[in-house]
Structure 1
Amino acid sequence: MAEYDYIEGKKRIDEILDNKLEVIEKDELPNDSDFTFKNSYFSWVTSIFVDIRDSSILFSDQDKPKVSKIIRSFSSEVIEILRKNDSLREIGIRGDCIYGIYTTELKSKIYDIFEMSMYINTFMKMLNKLLTKKSLPTIKVGIGLSTSKELVVKAGRKDTGINSKVWIGEAVTKASNLSSLGNKTGYKPIVLSNNTYINIIDQFIEKCGDNSKSWFDQSTHNEYGIIYDANLILTEFNDWIEKNI
């Protein structure tokens, strides 16, 4: 490998540590163009993670074309659902998981992200019906959502083009962890942090009626505190699936 110039490295670290870093507290997280190596933002964020259950079994299947078709079908449409929102600040794939991170300074924006979880949960019915018709294995996912104020920092190596935002707080890490619970060990597919739940429940009841609150199960997790899980589908979408697939 090329030798690491530790003398120049020491100079770069000193420059970073000596620079005055501006932490900007702002309800709405700005677009990438506003981030520099001399600032960071503290803003309201909601994150959604969609994690395939038992992916190691699927990935170990020797029929590689079959596995490729399943993963591409899944990722194509989950990304399509997640990307159609003006509040989107990052979208990506981590192994067997697809995620979206959004600026959500308003309750209505948090509800929009929650609604995506219902679209994805209903989409999984459509996908599995189509997989079954092709004699392919079906899959399950866990869908995790979390909301919090997050410190967001542009990190990487200045002047190299190698950089990314680092999300410091509960919104991203907890959504990822909650997605690993969904559709497993007694939890329903959609798992919400307490903060997400308290910000969406009033609007959900307004849309679906007083009884709809009972569609969520509350529990206390040793690591993640109070959480809510549910198996929610969109009626119009589901009816179309039943009639057309």
Structure 2
Amino acid sequence: MKSNHINYDYLKSFDRIDKIIDGSDNSFEEVDSIPLRDKLSYNNGFYVNCSAIFVDIRKSSQLTNVHLRPKLAKLYRVFISEVVATMNGNALCAEINIIGDCVSGIFNTPYRQNIDGVLSTAAQIASLIDVINCKFSKKGIEQIEVGIGISYGRALMIKAGYNGSGINDIVWVGDVVNESSKLCDASDDNQIVVSKTFYDNLNDENQELFKYDYFEKVYYNKIHDVDMNNWYKENCKQENSWF
């Protein structure tokens, strides 16, 4: 959000700090599903079980050595816009955040079958990257490799920002967010890496898609959307493709 200039008053700042610290601990509720944004204030919060997907470009710092800014801008715009579109296409998606070359999504998963729906979105993203690379190669743009991490667990949903300025955002705090970020870091070559808890809640058919890493204690594999993969096979004739 764009800055809204207000002269900084350190005495008012110190007063705000005290009010936040002295706020009631009983204003943070346990809920079954992610509530609407308008239920949040600067004084409350909600504990909720949810799923998180993190997607980022591997070795992105090296891209600046390959491309000048026009192509680099196109690369990032394509990646971010279409990963956001994919996550947003899942009705369970509650929040999407963009931080640099990372796109993350928080998904409302109160029921076990919802977990499989989140995996389907991740599979679409993996297939999307194949198609993006196909189109990049035809335009002389460097192909990208991404990491995809997914976790399920408990998070605290709060509204944070500068009260009265109009500058605020929803912040998700908890192991589910941290874990999915770490799983994303552990992923490469467009693989999907999921936590044990996320894996345990998948149906049997989807569990069979994964391999287990005994060292990292995570489940991983290349998993793709069937329809998108068929389009890729028909329209992208590339050597050394994964199929």
- TM bin, normalised by shorter chain, reads 0.7 to 0.9
- Alignment match, 2:3: none
After TM superposition, the structure 1 = structure 2 runs for residues 62-141 of structure 1, keeping only pairs within 5 Å, are: 62-141=67-146
Q: What is the rounded CA distance, in whole Å, between the counterparts of 2:195 and 2:204 in structure 1?
A: 15
Q: Which amino acid aligns with 1:235?
A: V
Matched with 1:14 is: 18
Report matched runs for 1:1-245 at 5 Å.
Answer: 4-21=8-25, 22-183=27-188, 189-202=191-204, 204=206, 213=208, 215-220=209-214, 226-245=217-236
Offset of residue 4 of structure 1: 4.4
* Matched residue SS, 2:186: coil
TM-score between both structures, scaled by the size of structure 1? 0.86
Deviations 1:26-72 (A, max 9, x none): 01010111111121100011110111011001134352111112111
For 2:12 and 2:230, how far apart are their aligned partners in 1? 63
Once the two structures are TM-superposed, the CA of residue 104 in structure 1 deviates from its matched residue by: 1.2
Q: Could you say what secondary structure the match of 1:180 adopts?
A: helix
Segments of 4+ moved more than 4 angstroms: none
The CA distance in 1 between the partners of 2:23 and 2:137, in whole Å, is: 58
Q: Please tell me whether the aligned partners of residues 111 and 203 of structure 1 are also in contact (alpha carbons under 8 angstroms).
A: no
Count of aligned pairs:
231
Instruction: Provide the rounded CA distance (Å) in 1 between the counterparts of 2:154 and 2:195.
Output: 13
Aligned-residue offset at 1:119:
0.6
Name the Cα RMSD after superposition.
2.1
Higher mean Cα deviation, 146-155 or 85-94?
85-94
Query: 1:38 & 1:231 partners in 2: Cα distance?
Result: 43
Alignment-mate amino acid for residue 159 of structure 1:
G
* Identity in percent: 32
Give unpaired runs (5+ residues) of structure 1.
206-212
For structure 2, the 5+ residue unaligned runs are: 1-5, 237-243
SS in 2 for 1:12: helix
